[in-house]
Amino acid sequence: MSTIHIPPSPFNPSDLTLITQGAEALVYKTTFLTPSTPTALKIRPPKTYRHASLDARLTRARILAEARVLVRCAREGVRVPAVLGADWEKGWLALEWIAGRTVRHALDGWLKAHGDDVGSSEGLEVKGLMGRMGKAIAQLHGVGVVHGDLTTSNVMVESEEGLEGDVVVIDFGLAVMSVQEEDRAVDLYVLERAFVSTHPQAEGLFGEVLRVYADGYKGAKGVVKKLDEVRQRGRKKSMLG
């Protein structure tokens, strides 16, 4: 971005380390509540092209929507980053820092080292990871949450090496509350397309995500069936080519 971003109060730029910069929000690493609590600070900067009142209204609604979805997941016992603090007037959200790597990163590393073993016994590790992803997404859908932007960059695995470790879905900036089969199927479709285009070697293993997902909650099997329909339709909601 060419405009330098000044964080809203009470934050000072010197206390923040920029991690990612999306169209919607900037994510910084910092501490929150104690000097030893690592935190992901998500800031939605004002958009100058919008009428000020519309911008404030949207920022407020989006910070709140994300916070509410995360708290709902917490209440339902679904593991997601915890909400530590929020200020929807100023446009920021402080979330539990999930240590580890994205599934994208972890899988890339593993495939580089073991690419040819995907079908073998060592490939069981990948299969295990896929299954845990399927289970995590099923848990979200099972409590009425649709993520809205599932990619392998939005799922973390809590380990520094290899593919073992808990799977935690992150970045709920586009999440909505929905129990519609269509919405859930599209969630899976987006992930499938993302998976296939970023990890073509492991394409065949995506089925494991769906297999475990299908047993994840009542109605999951129907969603996997619906996914077929969504695939036939092709692009109506996918964002990848």
Partner 1 sequence: MIALGLEGSANKLGIGIISHPSPTAEPHVLANLRHTYNSPPGTGFLPKDTALHHRAYFVRLVKRALYQAHLTPADVDVICYTRGPGMGACLTSVAIAARTLAALWDKPMVGVNHCVGHIEMGRAITGAQNPVVLYVSGGNTQVIAYAKHRYRIFGEALDIAVGNCIDRVARALRIPNDPAPGYNVEMMARKAVKRRGKEGELVELPYAVKGMDCSFSGILSAVEALVGQLATGEDDERKDRLKFSDGVLVTPDDICHSLQETIYAMLVEITERAMAHVGATEVLVVGGVGCNERLQEMMGMMAVDRGGTVFATDERFCIDNGIMIAHAGLVAYETGVQVSIEESDCTQRFRTDEVHIGWRDKDG
Partner 2 sequence: MTNPGTVLRIPHLQDSLVYVALFQSVKNSSFLRQQLIEGNTTYEYAFLDASTILSTTHVLAACFRAINDATANRLRTRNVHSEIVFALSPNNNIAESFRRFGVADETTSLLAIKVIPTTGTAAGDSSATDAIATHLRGAVEGEPAPFTDEAFAGLSDVTRIRKLYKAPAPGSSRKKTGVNGTSSSLQELKSLESIIIGSMAIKGS
Q: List active site positions.
A: 149
Q: What is the DSSP letter of 161?
A: S
Stretch of residues binding partner 2 (CB under 8 A), selected from 46-54, 83-91, 118-126, 232-240: 83-91
Q: Within a 10 A sphere around the Cβ of 64, how many other Cβ atoms? A: 13
Stretch of residues binding partner 2 (CB under 8 A), selected from 20-28, 62-70, 105-113, 224-232: 62-70
Nearest residue to 223 (alpha-carbon basis) of 183, 175, 176, 172:
183
Judged by CB under 8 A, the residue of 24, 55, 87, 125 near partner 2 is 87
d(CA 179, CA 174): 15
Indicate the angle between helix axes 181-198 and 206-214, nearest 10 degrees: 160
Residue 85 in the binding site for partner 2 (CB under 8 A): yes
User: Which x/- pattern, by CB under 8 A, does the window 164-183 give for partner 2?
Assistant: -xxx----------------
Residue 112 in the binding site for partner 1 (CB under 8 A): no
* Of residues 45 and 165, the one with the C-beta less far from partner 2: 165
Q: What is the DSSP letter of 82?
A: P
Q: Can you read off the two tokens belonging to residue 36?
A: 């030893």
By CB under 8 A, what part of segment 211-240 binds partner 2? none
d(CA 40, CA 85): 11
Stretch of residues binding partner 2 (CB under 8 A), selected from 5-13, 50-58, 175-183, 230-238: 5-13
* Of residues 3 and 34, the one with the C-beta less far from partner 2: 34
Handedness of CA 115, 121, 127, 128 (dihedral sign): negative
Residue 232 in the binding site for partner 1 (CB under 8 A): no
d(CA 131, CA 238): 23
Judged by CB under 8 A, the residue of 59, 139, 151, 152 near partner 2 is 139
| Residues near partner 1, by CB under 8 A | 1-3, 22-24, 47-54, 57-58, 148-149, 174, 176, 235-237, 239, 241
